[in-house]
Structure 1
């Protein structure tokens, strides 16, 4: 791309889309409301009852609100940083950890996209047994066709894709709201009371809450959607507003879906439902048409979320390449402002993970948990950067610092707890994904004729390799499984 094609290191195409507040809110809501909400009844019933679910949503809601406020604050305080999550890690902790943040966030989006196709195939599998629960060879082949179909759709341009996303976001909210209303009308107070403590196998209340944490992370992924797409915002302050409006909207929806489900079926039955478990719950409440209604809504919802996440994943690689933190080939864009090389790499990784799900015991749960685990390091680095920005004397007015610092600290503590809740298994699997990514970092440094690692970066690299080796050994010896 010639110098005339760029402005300040970013594309300056006349066709570049400028997004207003409603569209940014739709990006946030569209990226959060996807596969996760339709799996919540089953996921929560496997781990806890009403009491644990209420506590889990209070913790998750408060923690994610702190995270949303962090992204709002940083969008205003550091308007020079585009692609939020990645840019904050680089500004706070150096290029290598910034690279890891960009790669981890991007990889989590790619793995998350796989959950969408698995869930679609599982939904259709209730009618077509050959698709199983989205984990058969036929399901993977059909999912692959859909995956590449979306590649060509998004390749046509960002403006067209975001317009479709705005329409789909409205369409997919309707069946979820209808589910909540119908479940409230059909709620059995005796069943709800019996489900209050959870099943005997779920353990202590602390263990129950901890068991739900990865599920809550997964459904809230995308809270930073407006921040990631900030270079396209018409007004910078709209980035923070969209983040908060989007979060508050989906939090009310997610918590409602979970709690009302405990009043329809005993928790043990809900836990045993095939995904999407929301369909089975509504079928028990109103009959077969309820399952069909939810299944149709799921397909619309998941395809919309897939579109939003594909856009955001490609955007992260594209901006990182323009900041010289990814190889130069990822800077390529089409005349319609679509980052074609980044989009292609995104689709390829999703394809690889889709094939890997054939070897997993539960394709949906594996992809969901790995998506959540991969996203935690980028989130933790972003919140820690917010602490650094607000902690240093003289960098923030006293009044602003008094509000921002506690929020940043609470968001950091919450994200650190999520790392603990993820457990050793998914942290080791995450290292298996992270360590090989350093090849892209090495390519970038060599393009710039720079030393590959500083002494501190060498330590981080060795730790990541050690984690990856430990993960491979654990898988090989059967200590952990997929």
Structure 2
């Protein structure tokens, strides 16, 4: 019998790094510098690192304690809080993936805008038109069952990691100024602990965005020599990515004043390198970004579609979403994914800062599924949990920290984007209702009906807030 090749810890860790480093890293300098100085950035990365590490432990522990739940975030929410909440989690995670794809397209448009002014910041009519062509071009390719060959993944991995390593080396050895760095410690002003909390809050949604996919590390467990290796590789890979993200952010403060970095064109990593070495730096980073983003778009489209497909197979979404093409591709789910990406692209035409709008929406949509996962882990680890033999002090600590951190993120995100997520969440309930009718089941239990009513009210409030200008995107 053919056996799966077993990989050492360092190789497994490299696979974890490859799955986490995406397009968000290319916007780190501008987003952080636009909000805070060096001190705030260090505190923000410390909080994000500790919180996400707790979430990593939660996903690892749930994979061991509930190996039969093979649909990840969606399955955990359903097992912990019922069918409707499980669907809510699946739908939100799917929508978050779609919003993430919009960030990729906006970032490509903004990158091209440096050469072709018609693309602007990635949300002009020309940029949205070209992005729409890419959306439906990828849709056709995926429908035809284009496989993600190993050499394509290798090219994408090199394209996104190599430019970042070059950036770190060049900035650290050529462009870094201690004088500039010290002036940016508190954002160019006097030390002010009072405003630090607000500054950090502005960066936390981006940290969620760049760490999206951290829950996918456990998929590599079948390649490991032992379960212990999975834990070591996940920890090593996560800490490596955290160091990479923090280094790119912190070193950038030594290149130019905070205000200048905060106002740089996205991708700001390319703009910072351009400030050090000239135009070739922007071009070098931009080429790597475009290749990386196109590969990431393909991966996230497939992943987002798979979430809806899994929900349909488990009869929590309508049967049409479980349909596959002759090549085994979940055709209906992919179509719905492409349609939402297209709709969100059109919305970016009205956004003041399209990239930050898409990042904030993507992160906010992911928060509820993360909270539900952490909540389910906490439920399992408490004395009232349904598996008393599997409880442990370490598991309870991780679950508590992850729950507190994800709830903190919900508060830190602020009401604007969380309110807007319900414009997407509330209509999604129609799919759940259709699925229940197909099975001849009652649509809602009493508490689920109350949750649905709340979601609809929040969606109506969001529409009113947008229409009256109380909330701007």
**Do they fold alike, i.e. is TM over 0.5?**
yes
1:427 to 418, 435, 440: 418
2:153 to 165, 183, 188: 165
For residue 165 of structure 1, report the CA deviation from its aligned partner. Answer: 3.0
For residue 137 of structure 1, report the CA deviation from its aligned partner. Answer: 1.0
Say whether 1:395 aligns with 2:384.
Answer: no
Specify every segment of 5 or more residues in structure 1 that has no aligned partner in the other structure, as ranges. Answer: 1-17
Say whether 1:317 aligns with 2:308.
Answer: yes
For residue 19 of structure 1, report the CA deviation from its aligned partner. Answer: 10
Q: CA separation in 1, counterparts of 2:151 and 2:84?
A: 35
Specify every segment of 5 or more residues in structure 2 that has no aligned partner in the other structure, as ranges. Answer: none
1:301-330 deviation per Cα after TM superposition (whole angstroms, max 9, x unaligned): 211221221121011111111111111111
Q: In structure 2, what is the equivalent of residue 441 of structure 1?
A: 432
For residue 162 of structure 1, report the CA deviation from its aligned partner. Answer: 6.7
Partner SS for 1:324: coil
1:459 to 438, 441, 450: 450
Q: CA separation in 2, counterparts of 1:142 and 1:403?
A: 50
Q: CA separation in 1, counterparts of 2:470 and 2:456?
A: 19
CA contact (8 A) 2:188 2:257 kept: no
1:65 to 24, 36, 53: 53
2:374 to 383, 396, 399: 383
Say whether 1:291 aligns with 2:282.
Answer: yes
- The alpha-carbon distance between structure 1 residues 360 and 176, as it changes in their structure 2 partners (threshold 3 A), is same
For residue 248 of structure 1, report the CA deviation from its aligned partner. Answer: 2.6
Q: CA separation in 2, counterparts of 1:168 and 1:19?
A: 23
Deviates more, 1:84-93 or 1:150-159: 150-159
1:95-127 deviation per Cα after TM superposition (whole angstroms, max 9, x unaligned): 111111000000010011001000001101100
Q: How many residues align?
A: 462
Deviates more, 1:153-162 or 1:245-254: 153-162
Q: In structure 2, what is the equivalent of residue 153 of structure 1?
A: 141
TM-score (norm: length of structure 2): 0.92
1:414 to 401, 405, 413: 405
2:183 to 194, 197, 217: 194
CA contact (8 A) 1:214 1:369 kept: yes
Q: In structure 1, what is the equivalent of residue 353 of structure 2?
A: 362
1:302 to 265, 284, 293: 293
CA contact (8 A) 1:130 1:136 kept: yes
Supply the RMSD in Å over aligned alpha carbons: 2.5
Q: In structure 2, what is the equivalent of residue 479 of structure 1?
A: 470
Q: CA separation in 2, counterparts of 1:28 and 1:296?
A: 23
Say whether 1:126 aligns with 2:117.
Answer: no
Q: CA separation in 1, counterparts of 2:262 and 2:180?
A: 14
Deviates more, 1:239-248 or 1:440-449: 239-248
